[in-house]
Amino acid sequence: FGGTVKEPPLHIVHIAVEMAPIAKVGGLGDVVTSLSRAVQDLNHKVDIVFPKYDCLNLNHVTDLHDQRSYSWGGTEIKVWFSIVEGLSVYFLEPLNGFFSKGCVYGCGNDAQRFGFFCHAALEFLNQDGFNPDIIHCHDWSSAPVTWLFKDHYMHYGLAKSRIIFTIHNLEFGAHFISKAMAYADKATTVSRTYSKEVAGNPAISPHLHKFHGILNGIDLDIWDPYNDKFIPISYNSENVVEGKRAAKEALQQTLGLKKSDFPLVGIITRLTHQKGIHLIKHAISRTLERDGQVVLLGSAPDPRIQNEFVNLAKQLHSSHRDRACLCLTYDEPLSHLIYAGADFILVPSIFEPCGLTQLTAMRYGSIPVVRKTGGLYDTVFDVDNDKARAEAQGLEPNGFNFDGADCGGVDYALNRAISAWYDSRDQFNSLCKRVMEQDWSWNRPALDYMELYHAAKKY
């Protein structure tokens, strides 16, 4: 893709099951909200159809009101409307209780619940006469939209619509994904390198002609150290040193860590195999050996992994109480303070479709230390090794990275990062300033999506 698109405004409807900040589990939730806002800012009309979970974070929902109800799938479905982060959201509440389970995922019959939701969402669009240009669905959870649309709606009320399917993570529900790939008009995944990494997968390989890698961005209003109520001092690249010093002190104070100037490594993640658990554990001990501080914010859907980390947290609490803190929970405000207060954000993923934490880290002037995979490879350029690769993107190097999936790899990147902090602080501070000035927003990717949407219309 490339070039400016001069086409009439489009109407885009997302059918999704995660949306930041009202029901976010991982990056998918961030992307649904921030991509929609970016496209809306380009003067297109965007609506979101969303399950009305009982566990919605209602602090961010203004003026929620019910509009009407309809009968479908053997139950009554109430339609609610609200504005969330400036976006029009239609909430569907089936009275069969499918979304009153206290959680987004992990309620036993997720496939059945979300399959029902997809069909109910199309039925809602059809009955309400929406007929959007684009229906955009995401991952296995709204994959059924692709075939339900073609089987039941394409030749009826939704004749104008084209279906876009985005894979945020191929690991989840691969069998749904192969069917969705066949039915979608266009498909995307969330970075160019990940699109190449999965190109040989049997779910993807027959469909490469309509499959594109478009990098995710971050929402500059939601992630903005100059306007962030969770950090002590507003800062931008001009006063990054002062801003980050205050944030580090606040973080140390909040978590009971020693208030002194240590190199501080932050880790913010779901604790799953994908995220490189053994590498995370190794990095914690290596950082402590190098007299640094570590803050981990993460939670594990698998109780065994959660338990392992609970035990590690206890051990560290007795051995390194003032230099390590593991917060084994989901905590949005604390994540902001860590992005701001850390010197480094570590992302040692085994695979990573795009990764948002390294991008958010840079927005807050923290230096990413990452494994070279997927979107991490496309966005982090090593200060020692990737000058030419960065220049080819019009960028300067912005972090530290490593190959391989063993402890030696982590050491290679982390040791250089920590040494840069100890040995050449002025240069390190310039690096913090530089990464803050790089643009990892939706500015560019939103144009790529618009071009894809227009191409789908002509398909």
Binding stretches for ligand ADP (CB under 6 A): 26-28, 30, 268-270, 297-299, 330-332, 335, 354-357, 360
Least Å distance, CB 269 to ligand ADP, is: 5
Name the strand (E) or helix (H) holding 126.
helix 110-127
Neighbours of 74 (CB within 10 A): 8
Which H or E run contains 137? strand 134-138
Classify each residue of 25-35 as buried b or exposed e, where b means 16 or more C-beta atoms within 10 Å of its C-beta: bbbbbbbbbbb
In this complex, which beta carbon is closest to ligand ADP, that of residue 66 or of residue 332? 332
CA separation (Å) from 222 to 215, 358, 371? 18, 15, 26
Please, what is the minimum distance in Å from the beta carbon of residue 38 to ligand ADP? 16
Beta bridge partners of 437: none
Q: How far is the CB of 298 from ligand ADP (least distance, A)?
A: 5
Comparison of 38 and 158: residue with beta carbon closer to ligand ADP: 38
Q: Which residue is nearest to ligand ADP (CB)?
A: 27
Residues 6+ apart with CB under 8 A from 5: 447, 450, 451, 454
Residue 188 or 357: which CB sits closer to ligand ADP? 357
Residue 361 φ then ψ, to 5° = -55, -50
CB 297 within 8 A of CB 334: yes
* Choice between 15 and 170, CB closer to ligand ADP: 170
Nearer residue to ligand ADP within complex by CB, 364 or 428: 364
**Shortest distance in whole angstroms from residue 117 CB to ligand ADP:** 20
CB of 52 to ligand ADP, least distance (A): 22
CB of 356 to ligand ADP, least distance (A): 4
Count of Cβ atoms closer than 10 Å to residue 209 Cβ: 6
The secondary structure element, H or E, covering residue 116 is helix 110-127
The length of the chain, given as a count of residues: 459
Complex with ligand ADP: residue 15 or 271, whichever CB lies closer: 271
